[in-house]
């Protein structure tokens, strides 16, 4: 099967079976592009996530675009991005129509109450998975702890934290 078709189908599957947005997609993207397809190493994937996080737009879309480009060039980025976006566009359109008719149906609220904890677990898994490789030295652990403290305690803007972490990385590594 041509790589462009594989890219589209892989990211379509990721987009179709992930609830909770980009961060919840990270474990599925990791499994699909590293374990199932071998398109990237874990280190390359972490670099993709870092770049996707620093650029404007949703992390899942940015990740699909970057993985697609690394794997299939310009057209790889186009089909991977289309693949990850298509399921959401289809599902959101269908759900919007259905929710308009089912606003007061009790099981709809129950559905979302059940999905929310699962989404949190996917996001936590993604964070732990990336942390295993990204936090490989005392310096990187220090950056993680200081960044988290500044984010939680001082409410420092995430963009500023990314910039400061990049500067720290350039100085320390």
**Cα dihedral across residues 127, 129, 132, 134: positive or negative:** negative
pLDDT tens-digit readout, 115-165: 889 989 988 888 888 888 888 899 999 999 999 999 999 999 988 998 999
Give the pLDDT score at 20: 67
pLDDT tens-digit readout, 1-41: 899 999 999 999 988 887 666 677 888 888 889 999 999 99
Question: What mean pLDDT, rounded, does the chain reach?
Answer: 88
Residues in the chain: 173
Give domain limits for the chain. 3-134, 136-173
pTM of the predicted protein model: 0.60
Give the pLDDT score at 73: 95
Report the distance separating Cα 147 and Cα 71, nearest Å. Answer: 32
């Amino acid at each position: 099967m041509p790589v462009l078709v594989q890219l589209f189908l892989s990211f379509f599957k990721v987009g179709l079976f992930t609830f909770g947005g980009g961060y919840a997609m990270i474990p599925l993207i990791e499994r699909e592009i590293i374990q199932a397809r071998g398109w990237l190493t874990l280190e390359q994937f972490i670099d993709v996530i870092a770049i996707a996080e620093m650029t404007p737009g949703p992390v899942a879309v940015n990740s699909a675009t970057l993985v697609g480009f690394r794997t299939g060039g310009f057209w790889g980025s186009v089909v991977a991005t289309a693949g990850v976006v298509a399921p959401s566009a289809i599902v959101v359109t269908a759900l919007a129509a259905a929710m308009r008719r089912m606003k007061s149906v009790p099981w709809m609220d129950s559905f979302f109450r059940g999905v929310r904890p699962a989404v949190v677990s996917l996001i936590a898994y993604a964070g732990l998975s990336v942390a295993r490789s990204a936090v490989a030295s005392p310096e990187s652990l220090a950056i993680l702890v200081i960044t988290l403290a500044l984010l939680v305690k001082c409410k420092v803007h995430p963009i500023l934290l990314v910039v400061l972490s990049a500067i720290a990385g350039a100085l320390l590594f």
